Amino acid sequence: MTSERTTPAGGAEHWLLLIYRIPSEPTRLRAGVWRKIKGLGAVYVQNSVAALPASPAAERALRALRAEIGEIGGTAYLFDAATLAGQGHLLDVFNAARDDEYEEIVDRCEDFLRQLHKEYEEEHFTYAELEENDVDLAKLKGWLDKVHGRDAFGAAGIGGARAALERCEQALEDYAARVYAVEGEEPPPAK
């Protein structure tokens, strides 16, 4: 791809379009392709037409998916396209998809905080519980990084997701201090 890529303000944003057809049976094939398209952060323009902001990584992923669709008996075409009209709407759809993902992270952060609250209520102040919660927080951080990585246009939901994750980090630090106190140890020095 040799065409110049510019920001939406420049008016020449390029998108990759994957247009595909998959046999109707078995339905798990359709579901698998749908999950992969959503996992890439692409949005559907219409049935079996997905759009993703053009980038080398996106192109590699969609080329691989195109080949996979062919292997399961379907057909797929990958286009590099400039939006002549409707760019604003497409950006809105793309940002809404990211905002939905950010909102899901906020919801999972609330679940995390409820779980920590439950640990307090049940007085589970052990290293095993601390480690389990630390792993859960690392997953939330990784998920946020993944969504933010595909948030090409700065969806508004990032702020709420970051704030929710910061609340989780602070709550886990407070819980860790309690575990250390129960175990009779000094907390590690602040970083």
**Alpha carbon distance 96, 119 (integer Å):** 35
Is pLDDT above 60 for 9? no
Across 22-39, average pLDDT: 90
**Alpha carbon distance 31, 90 (integer Å):** 23
pTM score of the predicted model: 0.83
Residue-level pLDDT at 86: 83
pLDDT tens-digit readout, 94-113: 999 999 999 999 999 999 99
pLDDT tens-digit readout, 128-150: 999 999 999 999 999 999 999 99
Q: Is 39 helix (H, G, I), strand (E, B) or coil?
A: helix
Instruction: Give Rg (Cα) of the chain.
Output: 22
**Alpha carbon distance 66, 113 (integer Å):** 41
Helix (H) / strand (E) element for 75: namely: strand 75-82
**Alpha carbon distance 177, 191 (integer Å):** 14
Are 97 and 43 in contact by the 8 Å Cβ rule? The answer is: yes
Is pLDDT above 50 for 165? yes
Amino acid at 140: L
**Alpha carbon distance 11, 5 (integer Å):** 10
Percent of the chain with pLDDT over 90: 77
DSSP per residue, 100-150: HHHHHHHHHHHHHHHHHHHHHHTT---HHHHHHHHHHHHHHHHHHHHHHHT
Is pLDDT above 70 for 152? yes
Higher pLDDT, residue 97 or 83:
97
